[in-house]
Amino acid sequence: MSHVFGRGGADAPVVARARGCRIWDTGGRSYLDASGGAIVVGVGHGVAAVADAVAAQARQVAYAHGTVFRSAVVEEYADALAPLLPVDDPRVYPVSGGSEAVETVLKMARAYHLARGEDRHVVVARDGAYHGSTRGALDISGRAGLRAPYLPWLGQAQRVPGPYEYRCPFPDRHPGGCAAAHADALAAVCARTPVAAFVAEPVAGAALGACVPPEEYWPRIAQVCRRYGVLLVADEVMTGFGRTGAWFGLEHWGVRADLLAAGKGAGSGYWPLGLAVASGRVHAALAEGGFTHGFTYSHHVVGAAAGLAVLRELRDRDLVAASAARGAALAARLGEAVGGHRYVGDVRGRGLLVGVEFVADRRTAAPFPRAARVAERVVAAARGAGVLVYPGTGCADGTDGDLIVLGPPLCVTDDELTEIVAGVAAALATLD
């Protein structure tokens, strides 16, 4: 009997070692990690330079409290990040993961408006979205099933539809197109209530199967935010650090965020690292109005050393461009191999964040009943074929659905892409 609470069941394999895109269990079996864990491992497993940076920093000084000491490595990390972030004059608040980053930017949004004398507290997020497991992050998440056990403790946020071209939430075409309809939906909420922040992923992540918005979506959303004085909060926990083929997802649309949350690829699995980022304008208001916040492990020196080493790997190995090229190849090859399968409704994505959505009927796009557990079955069958993929059990409109997401380390090779596609095809064949 194990005393560990939560996570892998008793029959889960025991992990032994990992290198590149591959993980081995203690039985000697190898798996191709086509999801980088939970879309975490950007630079690949077993990178000695990152592990060494972590060890060297821990040997030198592993912990010093951020209220007492400044630290050169944390400052160097924030300075190295600054030119890469889609945020003007960014100020970086390092934390321990994505949920902490989301909690932090939500509090920053509230504090910003209070500092300016405005009592705005409503946050608008999107149907189906996932922003984390902690109270505030779950509250704004659009997955009703995850919030349900905690109502009425949660449930304060308001929601608008997210872009979902496969099942467009605005089937009666808006004269200005789909992006205009999304912008109008947000504007309608802002017109009737004082909204503090709009929170969304640039490319809707794993929970929603890598939904890419239409070209005009982000510029129009940014316009609405500006018009109503609403802070634009980018959740780049999954899309950051090269995952979508740009350093950060918003870059694809040339849009800047007021606040940004990152995690996952920041530490690439080598350290639990998250980042809450405020623009210079937001930071100035917080500096004046006050911002009471802090975690024991925020501004962690080893986290900063890991983050710096990850940045170096991404840069020196040109992994962001690799993500764009390999991601396009993966989506195209998957489309060829399984796009015509009778249960595949849609293959989509940007960079190395690729989703495959399953439907019971391709003609009507009708989903399977959730009880059929199609996503879980595909994930299990792919694992049987030696390929690890990430399941999604909801659609981008918040309803139940079945999908898998692929997000291998950005160093994935061409041969490994072939293996991934073969693994997914083999898994799908078991559904027939």
Structure tokens at 329: 């190849």
298 binds ligand PMP (CB under 6 A): no
132 binds ligand PMP (CB under 6 A): yes
245 binds ligand PMP (CB under 6 A): no
Q: Can you tell me the distance from the alpha carbon of 237 to that of 256, in angstroms, rounded to the nearest whole number? A: 16
| Count of residues engaged in binding ligand PMP, rule: CB under 6 A | 15
Q: Report the residue number, 43 or 359, with the smaller CB distance to ligand PMP.
A: 43
**DSSP state letter for 356:** E
Q: Can you tell me the distance from the alpha carbon of 257 to that of 237, in angstroms, rounded to the nearest whole number? A: 14
Question: Smallest distance, Å, CB 106 to ligand PMP?
Answer: 12
97 binds ligand PMP (CB under 6 A): yes
Question: Does the CA dihedral 416-418-424-430 come out positive or negative?
Answer: negative
Structure tokens at 77: 């990390």
* Span interacting with ligand PMP, options 94-102, 278-286, 304-312, 424-432, rule CB under 6 A: 94-102
* CB-neighbour burial class of residue 80 (10 A; exposed 0-12, middle 13-18, buried 19+): middle
Q: Are 183 and 224 in contact (CB under 8 A)?
A: yes
Q: Which residue is closest to ligand PMP by CB?
A: 98
Which residue type, as a one-letter code, is found at position 283? Answer: H
Out of 32, 81, 106, 238, the only residue in the binding site for ligand PMP (CB under 6 A) is: 238
* Span interacting with ligand PMP, options 18-26, 71-79, 125-133, 375-383, rule CB under 6 A: 125-133
* Span interacting with ligand PMP, options 77-85, 95-103, 176-184, 404-412, rule CB under 6 A: 95-103
N-terminal to C-terminal alpha carbon distance within the chain: 37
* Span interacting with ligand PMP, options 127-135, 219-227, 319-327, 421-429, rule CB under 6 A: 127-135
Out of 30, 38, 317, 422, the only residue in the binding site for ligand PMP (CB under 6 A) is: 38
92 binds ligand PMP (CB under 6 A): no
268 binds ligand PMP (CB under 6 A): no
Out of 131, 159, 299, 300, the only residue in the binding site for ligand PMP (CB under 6 A) is: 131
Strand partners, 105: none
Q: Are 260 and 86 in contact (CB under 8 A)?
A: yes
Q: Are 252 and 227 in contact (CB under 8 A)?
A: no
337 binds ligand PMP (CB under 6 A): no
Question: Does the CA dihedral 136-142-143-145 come out positive or negative?
Answer: positive
Out of 33, 127, 139, 235, the only residue in the binding site for ligand PMP (CB under 6 A) is: 235
355 binds ligand PMP (CB under 6 A): no
Structure tokens at 400: 């139940």
* Span interacting with ligand PMP, options 42-50, 66-74, 78-86, 126-134, rule CB under 6 A: 126-134
Question: Smallest distance, Å, CB 205 to ligand PMP?
Answer: 5
103 binds ligand PMP (CB under 6 A): no
Question: Smallest distance, Å, CB 253 to ligand PMP?
Answer: 17
270 binds ligand PMP (CB under 6 A): no
Q: Decide: helix, strand or coil at residue 232.
A: strand
Q: Are 207 and 130 in contact (CB under 8 A)?
A: yes
Q: Are 318 and 343 in contact (CB under 8 A)?
A: no
Q: Report the residue number, 263 or 355, with the smaller CB distance to ligand PMP.
A: 263
Angstrom CA distances, 414 to 61, 246, 350, 418, stand at: 40, 20, 17, 6
Which residue type, as a one-letter code, is found at position 145? Answer: G
Out of 102, 185, 277, 286, the only residue in the binding site for ligand PMP (CB under 6 A) is: 102
Structure tokens at 24: 């081995």
**Residues at the contact surface with ligand PMP, assessed by CB under 6 A:** 38, 97-99, 102, 130-132, 201, 205-206, 235, 237-238, 263
